[in-house]
Structures are given as structure tokens and as C-alpha cells.
């Protein structure tokens, strides 16, 4: 089942500018986003369970206590609950109804063959993947496909740095550095390291005209106190233009872009243990680190209150949905991936189950660890809020 603990480890890697605003708007948007992601996830479990002949007692929107019963159909109670944090599926715990034509011989989830349980568990994360693809497809169809132009936009120039001394300004579009194209942003760091103390030329587009600047890469320190041996002292991101495409091309791009982002997240998981250990450090958390419910609420507030906030809100929702797809498939106790592993072990053992008490113990310990991690991350989120640090970075 999906829990807030699984969201707590989601590394959000989208850049957005910090902005203030009404916290009630941020909270409302956060609850809407969270509710959508969790309900879609649980809907995947629910529909697949019905398809697999596994009995479901209740499909709930929100978490208990129960507000009201919406209706009952085919033995399933559909409820609306008071805590607007998503939803849940309550599977039957007894074999009653196992002979019902709707459920066949499968009966309960525990009694179902391993391959059926695996499909039910996989369906939740898969729905999050499909939701992300759908959101991106709609955004690309309505707004166009973001296409890099080969330039890098300077979003911030830090004081007392080589970039500030050279005359860089926020809003400049960096076109070339030391005669090299900066379409690949890694070139910027390569030029800085190869030319420390040596002047290099930079071509920027400023107010529609090309300007040539001379900058000397060297040591600088960020406002957060992080030191760099050789660099320029500006933040940047790719300049993109929105290219209009047809619905089929937008849908295909939604699929490929979702898979590309998932690939980047898989690579980012390698640095997740270090990010978690960094929570014990007195230094501010780096961008891309794990965030919890408080961090996600603040991030939602940041994106909806900047220009194009509606599209940014759905972009963030799609990114978080991809995080949930990936993280819930990891073999972490209490999450879907762990249930899948136990079902695979049973399948490989010819149907011999892992003793239920041992499986329950593993899930209980894992859930306690996840909740502890969520508390730690939430404390870190609150400290970052007190420090005034934006969740999604400054660009």
C-alpha cells in the first residue's frame, strides 16, 4: 500500500524560483495533488484485484475515520473519509465469497496465486507511471514540447564572484564559452577547471544583442557557504522554446519524457543514502535531496504562485507520480516492492509461503523505519522553511 512514508523519500529535481504567497492555497493544492496521486495508485490495486478475482471489501477516498458511505456495489463498499490524504483498498481477510462468480476461486489476496498478487501489487505503481505520461502528454499538447535551443539561461549571478566581476547579469543567455558550445552544460564546468586563473571569452545574448564578456574562472563561495575551487559564480539552466506538435506526437513525447525522467531518478537513487545521511548535518540540505509532506506542500506553493503556475503544478504532480512509481517498486519493507519480493519467493519455492508471522514482522519493522525516516525528513523540511530556503532551488 502507498503511504506518506514512501513520498518522504521522493527526490524532486525540478527547478523553480521561490515565491511567497497564501499558505492556505499551498496546503489546498498540496492536498489536491497528494489525493490524486494516492487515489490513482490505489485504483490500480483495486481494478486489478477485481480483474484477478480477488475480493475487495472497501475502496476508500481519504483515510479513516469514515465520513460517509457513498454506495455499495458487487460486495464492495465505497466510502468517503475525513483525512484528505489519498485513499486505500481494504482486501477481504476471509474466504467468504470465494465461490461468488465475481471472485471465482481466488477469494482473498493471501489465498491468491503468487503471480496474481504480483500483478495486483505492480498495478499501483504502474498507474502512477501512466498518470505521469498522461499529464505530460496533455501539457505538451496544450503548451508545446520544450526543445533546448543550445543556450543556457543565467538565472542568478552571485556577488563577489568571477561572473559578477565580468559583468554577467541575470537574464543573459550564455551561447558560447571559450569558443565552445554550451548545449551540453557540462562544458561550463570543464572550461572552469581547465582555465583557472586564465581569462576566457563568453558570448551571451542580452536584450536581443550578442555581447562578449571576459571572465577569469576562479574560487568562489555560494551564499550558503559552499566553496568551489574553480568556477564562475552563476546559476543557469537550459533555454528552451515551446514547439507545437500534434496530439499523437505529444502523447508519444509524454511517454518518452516520462521514461527519460525515470532513468534519471534511477541514477539519483545511488546518491539517496548520502542525501539521507546529510539530514544529520547542520548544513542546509542540497537541492534534489529527499523531502517529506511539509517539503512537498512548500514546493507546491512555490510552483503554483510563479508565472505559469497551473502548468508548473501539473508538471510537479507528474514528477512526483514518477517518484512514487519508482520508489514503490523498490524492495523496501511495507511498500509494494517488498510484497512483490515475498510473492516471488513463494512462486520460486513452488507455492510454499513464507511464514505469515515472519513476513508481518518484516513489514512492521520496515514501516516503523519508514515512519522514523519521514519524521526526520519532516523536521529537516521545517528547518529549511525556518531558514527561508526554497524547496526546489533558485535556478
User: Do residues 119 and 161 both lie within one domain?
Assistant: no
Q: What's the confidence (pLDDT) of residue 13? A: 34
Q: What's the confidence (pLDDT) of residue 104? A: 39
User: Do residues 161 and 227 both lie within one domain?
Assistant: yes
First to last CA, the chain: 35
Q: What are phi and psi of 305, to 5 degrees?
A: -110, 15
Q: Which of the residue ranges 23-27, 124-128, 284-288 would you say has the lowest mean pLDDT?
A: 284-288
Range of the domain at 10: 4-52+112-144+278-387
Q: What's the confidence (pLDDT) of residue 59? A: 94
Measure the CA dihedral 115/363/59/75, to 10°: 60
C-alpha cell at 8: 518522504
Sorted by sequence, the CB contacts under 8 Å of residue 304 that are 6+ apart come out as 21, 25, 26, 29, 310, 312, 313
In a domain, 184, yes or no: yes
Q: pLDDT band for position 16 (50/70/90)? A: very low
Q: What is the pLDDT of residues 37-49, one digit of tens each?
A: 989 999 999 999 9
Nearest to 1 by CA among 53, 32, 39: 39
Q: Extract the runs of DSSP E, i.e. beta strands, from 232-388.
A: 234-243, 290-291
C-alpha cell at 198: 586564465
Q: Which residue has the higher pLDDT, 18 or 31?
A: 31
In a domain, 306, yes or no: yes
Q: What are phi and psi of 185, to 5 degrees?
A: -60, -20
DSSP string of 316-332, one letter each residue: HHHHHHHHHHHHHHS--
For all residues of the chain together, what is the average pLDDT? 80
| 8 A C-beta contact, residue 221 and residue 196 | no
Domain boundary, last residue among 218, 243, 268: 243
User: Do residues 14 and 116 both lie within one domain?
Assistant: yes
| 8 A C-beta contact, residue 154 and residue 234 | yes
| 8 A C-beta contact, residue 115 and residue 347 | yes
Domain boundary, last residue among 243, 270, 301: 243
Q: CATH number, domain at 195?
A: 2.30.42.10
Total count of domains within the chain: 2
Domain boundary, last residue among 226, 243, 260: 243
User: Do residues 285 and 226 both lie within one domain?
Assistant: no
User: Do residues 287 and 354 both lie within one domain?
Assistant: yes
| 8 A C-beta contact, residue 252 and residue 239 | no
* Dist. CA 172–CA 338, nearest whole Å: 49
User: Do residues 344 and 290 both lie within one domain?
Assistant: yes
In a domain, 221, yes or no: yes
User: Do residues 334 and 309 both lie within one domain?
Assistant: yes
Nearest to 289 by CA among 303, 279, 281: 279
User: Do residues 26 and 123 both lie within one domain?
Assistant: yes
| 8 A C-beta contact, residue 114 and residue 344 | yes
Measure the CA dihedral 345/348/350/352, to 10°: -10
Q: What's the confidence (pLDDT) of residue 199? A: 95
Sorted by sequence, the CB contacts under 8 Å of residue 72 that are 6+ apart come out as 78
In a domain, 31, yes or no: yes
DSSP string of 11-66, one letter each residue: E-----------HHHHHHHHHHHHHHHHHHHHHHHHHHHHHTTB-EEEEEEEEEEE
Q: pLDDT band for position 1 (50/70/90)? A: very low
Q: What's the confidence (pLDDT) of residue 323? A: 86
Q: What is the pLDDT of residues 260-274, one digit of tens each?
A: 989 888 887 776 666
Q: What's the confidence (pLDDT) of residue 133? A: 97
Percent of the chain at pLDDT > 70 equals 74
User: Do residues 132 and 41 both lie within one domain?
Assistant: yes
In a domain, 124, yes or no: yes
Q: How many helices (H) and strands (E) does the chain have?
A: 11, 12
In a domain, 379, yes or no: yes
pTM over the 0.75 mark: no
Q: What is the pLDDT of residues 207-243, one digit of tens each?
A: 989 999 999 999 998 877 788 889 999 988 888 888 9
Neighbours of 20 (CB within 10 A): 8
Q: What is the pLDDT of residues 151-165, one digit of tens each?
A: 999 988 999 999 999
User: Do residues 329 and 371 both lie within one domain?
Assistant: yes
| 8 A C-beta contact, residue 4 and residue 293 | yes
In a domain, 338, yes or no: yes
In a domain, 267, yes or no: no
User: Do residues 195 and 314 both lie within one domain?
Assistant: no
Mean pLDDT of 113-120: 92
Q: Which residue has the higher pLDDT, 307 or 343?
A: 343
Q: What's the confidence (pLDDT) of residue 392? A: 53
User: Do residues 158 and 215 both lie within one domain?
Assistant: yes
Amino acid at each position: 500500500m502507498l503511504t506518506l512514508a514512501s513520498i518522504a523519500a521522493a527526490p524532486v529535481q525540478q527547478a523553480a524560483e521561490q515565491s511567497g504567497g497564501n499558505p492556505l492555497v499551498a496546503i489546498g493544492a498540496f492536498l489536491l495533488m497528494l489525493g490524486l496521486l494516492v487515489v490513482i495508485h490505489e485504483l490500480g490495486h483495486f481494478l486489478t484485484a477485481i480483474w484477478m478475482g480477488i475480493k475487495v471489501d472497501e475502496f476508500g477516498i481519504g483515510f479513516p475515520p469514515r465520513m460517509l458511505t457513498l454506495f455499495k456495489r458487487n460486495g464492495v463498499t465505497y466510502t468517503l473519509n475525513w483525512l484528505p490524504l489519498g485513499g486505500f483498498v481494504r482486501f477481504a481477510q476471509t474466504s467468504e465469497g470465494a465461490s461468488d462468480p465475481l471472485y471465482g476461486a481466488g477469494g482473498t489476496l493471501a489465498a491468491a496465486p503468487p503471480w496474481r498478487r504480483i500483478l495486483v501489487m505492480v498495478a499501483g505503481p504502474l498507474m502512477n507511471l501512466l498518470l505521469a505520461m498522461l499529464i505530460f502528454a496533455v501539457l505538451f499538447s496544450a503548451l508545446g514540447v520544450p526543445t533546448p535551443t543550445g543556450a543556457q539561461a543565467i538565472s542568478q549571478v552571485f556577488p563577489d564572484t568571477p561572473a559578477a566581476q565580468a559583468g554577467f547579469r541575470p537574464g543573459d543567455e550564455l551561447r558560447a564559452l571559450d569558443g565552445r558550445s554550451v548545449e551540453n552544460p557540462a562544458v561550463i564546468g570543464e572550461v572552469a577547471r581547465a582555465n583557472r586563473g586564465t581569462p576566457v571569452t563568453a558570448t551571451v545574448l542580452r536584450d536581443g544583442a550578442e555581447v562578449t564578456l571576459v571572465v577569469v574562472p576562479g574560487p568562489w563561495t555560494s551564499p550558503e557557504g559552499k566553496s568551489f575551487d574553480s568556477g564562475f559564480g552563476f546559476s543557469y539552466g537550459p533555454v528552451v522554446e515551446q514547439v507545437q506538435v500534434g496530439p499523437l506526437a505529444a502523447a508519444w513525447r509524454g511517454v518518452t519524457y516520462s521514461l527519460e525522467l525515470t532513468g534519471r531518478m534511477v541514477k539519483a537513487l545511488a546518491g539517496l543514502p548520502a542525501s539521507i545521511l546529510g539530514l544529520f548535518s547542520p548544513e542546509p540540505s542540497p537541492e534534489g535531496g529527499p523531502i517529506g509532506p511539509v517539503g512537498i506542500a512548500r514546493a507546491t506553493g512555490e510552483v503554483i504562485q510563479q508565472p505559469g503556475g497551473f502548468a508548473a503544478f501539473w508538471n510537479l504532480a507528474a514528477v512526483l507520480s514518477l517518484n512514487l512509481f519508482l520508489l514503490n517498486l523498490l524492495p523496501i519493507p511495507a511498500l509494494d516492492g517488498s510484497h512483490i519480493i515475498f510473492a516471488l519467493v513463494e512462486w520460486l519455492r513452488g507455492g510454499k509461503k513464507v511464514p505469515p508471522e515472519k513476513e508481518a514482522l518484516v513489514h512492521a519493522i520496515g514501516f516503523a523505519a519508514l515512519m522514523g525516516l519521514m519524521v526526520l525528513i519532516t523536521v529537516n523540511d521545517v528547518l529549511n522553511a525556518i531558514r527561508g530556503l526554497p524547496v526546489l532551488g533558485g535556478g
